[in-house]
Structure 1
Amino acid sequence: MSSRVDRMEDVLEFSVSGDRLFSADHGEVVEGWTSDVYFVKTRDVLRELGRLDAEVCAEVFAREGGVFCGVEEVRRLFLKAGARVSVEALEEGEEFAPREVVMRIRGPYGEFGLYETTLLGMLSSASGWATAARRCVEAAGGLPVLCFGARHVHPSCAPVMERSALIGGCSDASCILGAKLGGREPRGTIPHAAILIAGDTVKVAMAYDRVLPEQEKRSILVDTFRDEAEEALSVAEALKERLFAVRLDTPGERGGVTPDLVREVRCRLSMAGYGHVGVFVSGGLNPDRIRALADAGACGFGVGSYIAHGTPRDMTMDIKEVDGRPVAKRGRIPGVTDNPRLKRVI
């Protein structure tokens, strides 16, 4: 059984089983085993000098602006670790500017220095995903954007990514755990696999309608076997007023989902008396494509890779005070940086 890493001796004695998964479990994160080893060496050096518990103030900033996310996980990390610190931060979902201080931590260095790697990683990744989601939501102009990104990242961080997308403004998420962590119910239709195995889109649509809980909206893929407009009309005729939307996910090999395709499907549904049926779009979307498809009449979007591949916001943590004395490494301004937007979280 592992315990919190404290000294280099602990690192040298630490071993892992050969058949484990490669991702860290929650205990290993809290115990410090995902930290960079130089922070453990720092503990040994400062302990030798009698300075491990020096009172310090540290600030976190990003080199690039974006949407702030991850502070709740950092807060829980410190609480689970029993760290005696006070923390101020921006609220999750707030936009931040380049080099703006997004978090301030005060306390004995030995209480939190070990977690610099971990907290920066949490904030960096979550803010990158939230920023990508926000850009898609802005492009959608009020239409719903669902996060379908779980398949594009390692499963250990998929729930973090989808929760971050919700913080960024996505209406829903498809990953079960990610949606639940964000206080939502997971949303999504069915994959092409179900239709390919069953062999008929209408047959699947009718079975989908029979077995789904009543509160679930009936949205059906219509690009598996036949022309999208043709399948959309067939499904609408089968489910009538119970059909909420058809989903277009035409692959790139067939030209992808274009604005003209959305216009045609939207027009043919309306002309046949199914104006209540929306045209939901997924597959390789980005903000520019979302804008064009929204103008063409799409009712909502499922975004995967653009959010999942959102560029992390490089976060840096600087010590700015030691025992109440302003300090900074060369190139930085000593002392606490004023930011009235920070709010106490611990």
Structure 2
Amino acid sequence: MPAYTFPNDHRPYTDTYFIHSRTILEGDGFNPMVSYEVFIRDPGVVRGIDEAVAVIDTYAPDLAAKGGSVHALPDGSRYESAEPLMHIRGPVQDLIELETMYLGVLTAETTRANGGGEVDLKQVAERARAIRKLCPDKQLIYFGARHWRYDADAAISEAVLKEGWDGASTDVGAQAGGFEHGVGTIPHALVLVYAHVYGREQATLKATQAFHRHIEPDSPRIALVDTFNREIDDALATARALGDDLFGIRLDTPGEHPGQGADPEDKDTDIYHGYWGGSGVTVSMNKAAREALDKAGYEHVKIVLSSGFGKVEKVRAFVEGERRHGRLFDSMGIGGVFPAMHATSDIVQVEDVDLAKDGRGFHENPRLVRMI
């Protein structure tokens, strides 16, 4: 395997919600063995495997000694859509902070190997400016650190933040745009660990309460409510439990299924550009969640949207939704502001028991070979 030189500390290049998660897990004493599955939706030739493995080996050097392992397709292999590219197993505290860096490497190198170009910072700025123009009064946070290499994050973040956005998910990204620290709350990985301990129905609430116990008070309490397709149920449960301390909820429903409360069928595609109903984060689901919170007396709870909002047409659909239906959302976490073959990593097993967010799961792949 080639030799790579990485920063002494990975944390400045890491999404803040993973840093928070490590703090929370240490505070509650939870460190189960987990398995991650890495995939890319677009088929092609995978590159960056060796460097991604080196990221893990550098920052989790005792992984094998602790019973962990990394299996992956050999660098340069052709793969099919959503075929597992890597299975990564180890104690969650060793792995949870590394996802941003290894996914960024895989995404960038695979994009380049399949005919994609370099990130055009001018086009990034234009996209960021167009989104800000559509949402002049909304909080916009750049969530795209995992969508390209860690050593380009500062330049990309700076291009976005100069267009009037309100923060970035990593410290290096935030500081490039004049902010002190990256921002972020809870990832699906943390919710899945709490699901292992408390069960699926309690997981979102328990993870949010753990965040509330262990993270500094000036970090907004935002519950990630889509892990188990219980967007409305978990939004109301966390609102009841945290009351005025709950700043907001985040909707990040994956494209494998409709969110709770969503219209299962899309309609008015000419108005909503294909984002009214169906799978993923949709206008109809957003509307249902807002109405449920308001009806229960939780008008103060804000709604943060993420997943696919680097597409200007998707942003425009939700802005149109507000024009027609009133207040829907307050903030967006946005990553895909340039074309790339995005790599995704999900926890799919906890202590060798299948456990994943709805729509995802463990898939065998006999083509993977052991790297660590």
TM-score by length of 2: 0.49
Q: Which amino acid aligns with 2:135?
A: A
CA shift for structure 1 position 288: 1.8
SS of residue matched to 2:297: coil
Q: Give the Cα–Cα distance (whole angstroms) in 2 for the partners of residues 125 and 139 of structure 1.
A: 22
SS of residue matched to 2:186: coil
Q: 1:309 aligns to what?
A: 339
Contact kept in structure 1, 2:222 and 2:250, CA below 8 Å = yes
Structure 2: 5+ residue stretches without partners? 8-118, 196-202, 258-278, 323-327, 341-372
Structural mapping, 1:33-48, within 5 Å: none
Q: Which amino acid aligns with 1:125?
A: D
Q: 1:224 aligns to what?
A: 227
Q: 1:20 aligns to what?
A: 4
Residues 1:129 and 2:160 aligned together? no
Q: Which amino acid aligns with 1:216?
A: S
Q: 2:208 aligns to what?
A: 205
Q: Which amino acid aligns with 2:170?
A: C
CA shift for structure 1 position 300: 1.2
Contact kept in structure 2, 1:149 and 1:303, CA below 8 Å = yes
Q: Which amino acid aligns with 1:180?
A: Q
Q: For each residue in 1:147-201, what CA deviation from the matched residue of structure 2 results, as whole angstroms up to 9, or x when unmatched? A: 1011011111012111211012211110211102222121122210000111111
CA shift for structure 1 position 130: 1.6
Distance verdict in 2 for CA 1:241–1:272, change over 3 Å: same
Distance verdict in 2 for CA 1:150–1:273, change over 3 Å: same
CA shift for structure 1 position 21: 4.2
Q: 2:171 aligns to what?
A: 176
Structural mapping, 1:226-241, within 5 Å: 226-241=229-244
Q: Which among 189, 196, 212 is matched to residue 193 of structure 1? A: 189
Structural mapping, 1:140-179, within 5 Å: 140-179=135-174
CA shift for structure 1 position 308: 3.9
SS of residue matched to 1:252: coil
Q: Give the Cα–Cα distance (whole angstroms) in 1 for the partners of residues 280 and 143 of structure 2.
A: 17
Q: Which among 284, 292, 296 is matched to residue 260 of structure 1? A: 284
CA shift for structure 1 position 212: 1.3
Q: Give the Cα–Cα distance (whole angstroms) in 2 for the partners of residues 188 and 217 of structure 1.
A: 9
SS of residue matched to 1:156: helix
Distance verdict in 2 for CA 1:239–1:173, change over 3 Å: same
Q: 1:278 aligns to what?
A: 302
Q: 2:364 aligns to what?
A: none
Q: Give the Cα–Cα distance (whole angstroms) in 2 for the partners of residues 288 and 180 of structure 1.
A: 29
Q: Which amino acid aligns with 1:149?
A: G
Q: Which amino acid aligns with 2:218?
A: Q
SS of residue matched to 2:233: helix
Q: Give the Cα–Cα distance (whole angstroms) in 2 for the partners of residues 215 and 308 of structure 1.
A: 31
Distance verdict in 2 for CA 1:193–1:22, change over 3 Å: closer
Pairwise CA RMSD: 2.3
Contact kept in structure 2, 1:228 and 1:265, CA below 8 Å = yes
CA shift for structure 1 position 278: 0.9
CA shift for structure 1 position 291: 2.4
Q: Give the Cα–Cα distance (whole angstroms) in 1 for the partners of residues 237 and 182 of structure 2.
A: 27
Contact kept in structure 1, 2:127 and 2:312, CA below 8 Å = no
Structure 1: 5+ residue stretches without partners? 1-17, 24-123, 311-346
SS of residue matched to 2:216: coil
Q: Give the Cα–Cα distance (whole angstroms) in 1 for the partners of residues 187 and 4 of structure 2.
A: 30
Distance verdict in 2 for CA 1:264–1:216, change over 3 Å: same
Q: Give the Cα–Cα distance (whole angstroms) in 2 for the partners of residues 150 and 180 of structure 1.
A: 13
Q: Give the Cα–Cα distance (whole angstroms) in 1 for the partners of residues 256 and 193 of structure 2.
A: 21
Higher Rg: 1
Q: 1:251 aligns to what?
A: 254
Q: For each residue in 1:89-126, what CA deviation from the matched residue of structure 2 results, as whole angstroms up to 9, or x when unmatched? A: xxxxxxxxxxxxxxxxxxxxxxxxxxxxxxxxxxx833
SS of residue matched to 1:279: strand
Structure 1 stretches of at least 4 aligned residues deviating more than 3 Å after TM superposition: 20-23
Q: Which among 299, 308, 323 is matched to residue 330 of structure 2? A: 299
SS of residue matched to 2:120: helix
CA shift for structure 1 position 282: 0.2
Q: Give the Cα–Cα distance (whole angstroms) in 2 for the partners of residues 207 and 290 of structure 1.
A: 32
